[in-house]
Amino acid sequence: MRLTPRQRLLPERPLTELRNAVQNRAIDKALNASFDYDETSDNPVNNHEFSVRERLSFLRGFLSTTPGKFSIVTTLLLLCCIILGGASASLTFDRQQQLDTMLRESEPLAHASQQLYSSLSLADTAATTQFMTTEENDQVTRQYERAIINASTNAIGSRSGASTYDKADRTLLVQINANIPVYTARIGQAVAEQSMNNPLTIMHQADARSIMEEQLLPDAEQLYKNRYASINVAQKAWARPLYAAGFCLILLIGALVAAQLWLTHVTRRRFNLGLLAATVLAIVSLLWVLVSSGISFATADSSVPDNHSISEILTDARITAQQMRSHEMVELSQANAGSTIDSAPFLKNMDKVTEAVDTFAERTNSAETVKLSEQTTTALHAWRDTHQEMVDQLADGNRREATAIATSMARSAGGGQFNEVDALLQRCISAARGQVRDSANLAHSTIFATGVGLVILLVLESVCVVAGFLPRYREYE
């Protein structure tokens, strides 16, 4: 059997041609054309474009591995830190914004409406008194003029914030600003008629009193009540703990603890310092929120009887005292005309004012306010004794002596004692307002610091989460 040689796969080429091909790198170029690779790298270059299905399959395969699971857990923890921690910080800043609005807008407007109401009531009292006294009429007239100026000033101050009022409050404010000039005009006419001993004095005085009691005072009282209602709502929100923020932080702590337990099971390591640090920071955030809520609750005046703030209670007491003085003058005028005087309403209102002062002392519970309330109570008792002395003089028929006792501005007479009571009640209102503002400022600063602290701790928690998983990733490089 004759054997035939195997056919050559490559044609024979002369040696000179092969040498030239090698020198010209023709063989390398042919190999490069047949086998695509990068001359500067040991790794082959693959220009193949993967389809979406292939990419998803690759991603699914990667996520099924331990490093892929680490990536999933790390991403979820970072999202929890951002979402839950960010929500708690946002809720804290919302509470801080509410307090800021109360301090900058609601409380000043409520104070202006309270001053408007008190000034109008004091003007009514002074106007009634000036028609009863002759010896000290100039002093009473100046008191009336100051009250009208204060009422007009506070009406303008309330009008500057009318953009925050609802339609009903704006209507009340417009009516008050329109009726003040009408009232002062009637009083002016009554004074002019009295200087000429004209009987028309009584008619103009009655018209002015009707405008004050039927229009000005009811409108001012309603505006004042509406403004303080908003303050009471703000104080209730102020005293409410940050439940939502605390709940978000509890969920974040639970997520970090669950991740720590899962990582312990996978890596067979008991603790992960990064996750442990993040958990501690989350617990610090929760404690910070709890302490901040406790401070806010302690500083808020949320347990006042009938949901009225102490400033509102004292304002009502001051208005009551002014009305007592006005009615005292009216009853004195009627008694001089032959009618009998009834002290029961005066004594009943005196008890209400005394009770309000006692409430002020109990709610504030500081040495300064207790001393102030004692002074006010002493002045009220002196006024009551003077009123009883006036009644006794009228009963004995000494009308001129009774009028002098009730209208004189001396410290031992009714006019001077009323002025002292009114001044002391005004100081009580200022002290109560200052205490509320100081407490609100403290709560505002505390909650603002809490919000900033939560943001800083949130960033540190995220860093700790990443730092806790980095060593585990490196184990699989």
Candidate ranges 62-76, 290-304, 436-450; pick with highest mean pLDDT: 436-450
Range name among 109-123, 155-169, 345-359 with the lowest pLDDT average: 155-169
Residue 1 pLDDT more than 50?
no
**Closest by alpha carbon to 435, among 314, 306, 307, 318?**
314
CA–CA distance, 401 with 346 (Å, rounded to integer): 20
Nearest 10 degrees: Cα torsion 223, 224, 225, 226: 50
Confidence label for 310 from pLDDT (cuts 50, 70 and 90):
confident
What pLDDT is stored for residue 9 in this prediction? Answer: 47
pTM exceeds 0.85 for this model: no
Residue 307 pLDDT more than 90?
no
Q: Which residue has the higher pLDDT, 314 or 128?
A: 314
**Closest by alpha carbon to 119, among 223, 197, 25, 203?**
223
Mean pLDDT, residues 410-424 taken together: 88
Residues written for the chain? 477
Confidence label for 164 from pLDDT (cuts 50, 70 and 90):
low
Q: Which residue has the higher pLDDT, 364 or 337?
A: 364
The two three-digit tokens of residue 289, written as one number: 């929120």
With vertex at residue 152, the alpha carbon angle to CA 410 and CA 330, rounded to the nearest 5 degrees, is 45
Average pLDDT, the chain: 81
Three-state DSSP at 70 gives: helix
What pLDDT is stored for residue 34 in this prediction? Answer: 52
How large a percentage of the chain has pLDDT more than 70?
Answer: 81
Three-state DSSP at 454 gives: helix
Q: Which residue has the higher pLDDT, 271 or 182?
A: 182
Confidence label for 290 from pLDDT (cuts 50, 70 and 90):
very high
Q: Which residue has the higher pLDDT, 474 or 137?
A: 474
The pairs formed by 22-28 with CB atoms below 8 angstroms and a separation of 24 or more are none
What pLDDT is stored for residue 253 in this prediction? Answer: 93
What pLDDT is stored for residue 449 in this prediction? Answer: 92
What pLDDT is stored for residue 350 in this prediction? Answer: 92
Mean pLDDT, residues 352-378 taken together: 88
* Residues whose CB is less than 8 angstroms from the CB of residue 370 and which lie 6 or more positions away in sequence, other chains included: 361, 364
The two three-digit tokens of residue 118, written as one number: 């008190």
Q: Which residue has the higher pLDDT, 242 or 70?
A: 242
* Residues whose CB is less than 8 angstroms from the CB of residue 335 and which lie 6 or more positions away in sequence, other chains included: 341, 394, 399, 402
Residue 38 pLDDT more than 60?
no
Mean pLDDT, residues 253-269 taken together: 85
What pLDDT is stored for residue 279 in this prediction? Answer: 92
**Closest by alpha carbon to 120, among 165, 172, 176?**
176
Q: What is the CATH number of domain 108-240?
A: 1.20.1440.210
What pLDDT is stored for residue 305 in this prediction? Answer: 46
What pLDDT is stored for residue 74 in this prediction? Answer: 85
Each domain of the chain, given as residue ranges in start order, spans 108-240
